């Protein structure tokens, strides 16, 4: 079998991550996205553990998925009881799904010291629970919890737990590396032994990332014969998380030529992953492999030159295959070739021998040495180009601004309004206004747009969508230089600008000024007359 089944546990194991709290609505949205990715199995939750999961399974009864199978999760019956009398198992039967994943103890230490029962009784718990569910016409997977620790501590007993699961009627045996501390080489060796022992049963792998090797362990388990891989789509889960399925899937598909998802879904992989992150209220790190914003970003001059000539020189795969994009970053180390390419994209009259290109490279290096960062502020960089080649348009000129604030020290007073007064020159005339805001920068932003809107009505659609401040040299304490990055939007497009100064308000003004000037010029607006 060259293919592999993908089992996603974002809704169950992922919800155990610190800071994650899914509503029922969140989980329903996640199920639809995972089904859109054509994930084989979606572990929706444990209907016996909390009322929220019971509500979820009732709502899922109303939904018809196009591809994925829903799975309910639960544990073996309690010791010295009957499976038929176990309320958790009863809730699983009533939840309405046909596939169940049952976990049981495979480490003798956990049996005797954690759940305080006998080794024989634990085997009966596994066997009886799975047989009970099978008699209800359910497909049952067995998650052998702590299997790798159990195998290393008492190999004979760990294997007996798998035998008990098969005697009960389990259709898949999933080896769980629950503590996350085993090395990939150990995972491969032990998985290979189990695959050989049970040649007619599909073996699965479930790894945690406490040692930072969950993805590597999952891939080596596949090489050892596992054909069912469990994890969470973005890797978050208990403690340090689970195997990141995005990384597992992409490595299987593009590095190992393994069928794991339908080919049609890969171009949407990055977009869907970011939608899952948005619902989960987590941010995908820029450095995340495959789907991160920086995954195919190039900054060094030699790297950019190589990628421009042939992307395979510095890229391990084509980013568009998974819906990501290549980015060539503007910086002091980018080199003249990239700057010329960016200039010629909008201003094709220039060539590499133009002195203004050399002057621009030198100024860029000087500005970045002072704290500017144009790789995240392409609009400011575009204005810098226009300024150098003498085609920048003048829409307004600042005469002066002033901000005033009031501070309340009474407990419970939250509103501390600030006022900004601003005077600009437009078309040879002076215009002045004042505006109140939640802080000095907000007031300045509102005042600037208010004074300019009569001259440039198009600005009514513009607003700030993000605002970041970075202290660049904190050793100077309150005299430190700060960098302000602003993201603006008109609801259809977004653009980024930058300002740098010892004064946070002055730095904000630079970024605000660039934001409005760039938008007016990009929109084809002529300066007011």
pLDDT at 416: 63
In this prediction, residue 477 carries a pLDDT of 63
Yes or no: say if 161 and 125 are a contact pair by the CB < 8 Å rule: no
pLDDT reading at 147 higher than 60? yes
Q: What is the per-residue pLDDT for 220?
A: 98
Average pLDDT of the segment spanning 132-137 = 97
Picking from 42, 46, 53, the residue whose alpha carbon sits closest to that of residue 76 is 46
For the chain, which residues make up each domain, given as ranges?
5-261, 297-388, 396-443
DSSP state for residue 358 in the 8-state scheme: H
State yes or no: pLDDT of 414 exceeds 60. Answer: no
Label the pairing between strands 482-489 and 494-501.
antiparallel
Band of the pLDDT at 466, cuts 50, 70, 90?
confident
pLDDT band, very low/low/confident/very high, at 336 (cuts 50, 70, 90): low
State the average pLDDT for the chain.
90
Burial class (CB in 10 A: 0-12, 13-18, 19+), 80: exposed
Q: Is residue 345's pLDDT more than 80?
A: no
Instruction: Report which of residues 119 and 369 the model is more confident about.
Output: 119
Radius of gyration of the chain (CA): 30
Beta bridge partners of 432: 423
DSSP 137: T
* Contact in structure between 316 and 277 (CB atoms under 8 Å): no
Judging by DSSP bridges, how do beta strands 5-8 and 327-328 pair with one another?
A: unpaired
Q: At CA 228, angle to CA 227 and CA 232, rounded to 5?
A: 140
Report pLDDT for 369: 78
Name the more confident of 472 and 59.
Answer: 59
- Angle at 154 (CA atoms; ends 152, 155), nearest 5 degrees: 75
- Give the list of residues 6+ apart from residue 255 with CB closer than 8 angstroms, or none: none
Examine the pLDDT at 349 and tell me if it is beyond 70: no
Confidence band (pLDDT; 50, 70, 90) for 476? low
Token pair of 224 as six digits? 């050892």
CATH of domain 5-261: 3.20.20.70
- Indicate the SS3 state at residue 453: coil
């Amino acid at each position: 079998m060259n293919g592999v089944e993908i089992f996603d546990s974002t809704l169950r194991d992922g919800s155990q991550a610190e800071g994650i709290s899914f509503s029922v609505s969140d989980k329903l949205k996640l199920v639809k996205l995972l089904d859109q990715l054509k994930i084989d199995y979606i572990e929706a939750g444990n209907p016996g553990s909390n009322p929220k999961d019971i509500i979820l399974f009732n709502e899922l009864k109303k939904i018809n998925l196009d591809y994925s199978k829903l799975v309910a999760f639960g544990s073996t019956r309690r010791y010295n009881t009957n499976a038929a009398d176990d309320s958790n198992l009863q809730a699983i039967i009533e939840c309405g799904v046909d596939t169940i994943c049952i976990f049981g103890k495979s480490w003798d230490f956990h049996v005797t010291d954690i759940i305080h029962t006998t080794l024989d009784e634990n085997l009966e718990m596994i066997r009886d629970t799975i047989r009970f569910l099978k008699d209800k016409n359910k497909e049952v997977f067995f998650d052998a919890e702590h299997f790798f620790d159990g195998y290393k501590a008492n190999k004979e007993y760990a294997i007996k737990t798998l035998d008990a699961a098969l005697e009960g009627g389990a259709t898949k045996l999933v080896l769980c590396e629950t503590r996350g501390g085993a090395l990939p080489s150990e995972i491969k060796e032990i998985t290979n032994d189990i695959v050989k022992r049970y040649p007619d049963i599909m073996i699965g792998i479930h790894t945690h990332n406490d040692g930072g090797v969950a993805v590597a362990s999952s891939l080596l388990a596949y090489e050892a014969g596992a054909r069912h891989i469990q994890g969470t789509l973005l890797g978050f889960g208990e403690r340090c998380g689970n195997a990141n399925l995005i990384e597992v899937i992409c490595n299987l598909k593009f590095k190992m030529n393994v069928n794991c998802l339908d080919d049609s879904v890969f171009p949407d992989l990055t977009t869907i992953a970011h939608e899952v992150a948005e619902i989960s209220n987590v941010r995908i790190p820029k450095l995340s492999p495959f789907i991160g914003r920086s995954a195919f970003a190039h900054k060094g001059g030699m790297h950019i030159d190589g990628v421009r000539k042939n992307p395979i020189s510095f890229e391990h795969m084509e980013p568009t295959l998974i819906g990501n994009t290549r980015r060539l970053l503007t910086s002091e180390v980018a080199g003249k070739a990239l700057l010329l390419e960016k200039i010629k994209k909008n201003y094709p009259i220039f060539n590499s021998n133009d002195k203004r290109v050399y002057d621009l490279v030198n100024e860029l290096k000087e500005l970045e040495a002072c704290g500017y960062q144009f790789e995240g502020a392409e609009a400011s960089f575009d204005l810098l180009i226009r300024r150098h080649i003498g085609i920048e348009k003048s829409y307004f000129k600042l005469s002066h601004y002033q901000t005033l604030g009031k501070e309340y020290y009474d407990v419970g007073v939250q509103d501390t309004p600030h006022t900004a007064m601003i005077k600009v020159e437009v078309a040879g005339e002076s215009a002045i206004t004042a505006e109140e805001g939640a802080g000095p920068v907000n007031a300045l932003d509102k005042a600037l747009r208010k004074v300019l809107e009569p001259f440039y009505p198009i600005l009514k659609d513009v607003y700030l969508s993000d605002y970041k401040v970075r202290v660049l040299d904190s050793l100077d304490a309150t005299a430190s230089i700060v960098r302000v990055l602003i993201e603006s939007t008109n609801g259809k497009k977004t653009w980024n600008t930058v300002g740098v100064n010892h004064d946070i308000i002055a730095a904000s003004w630079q970024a605000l000024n660039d934001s409005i000037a760039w938008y007016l010029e990009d929109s084809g607006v002529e300066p007011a007359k």
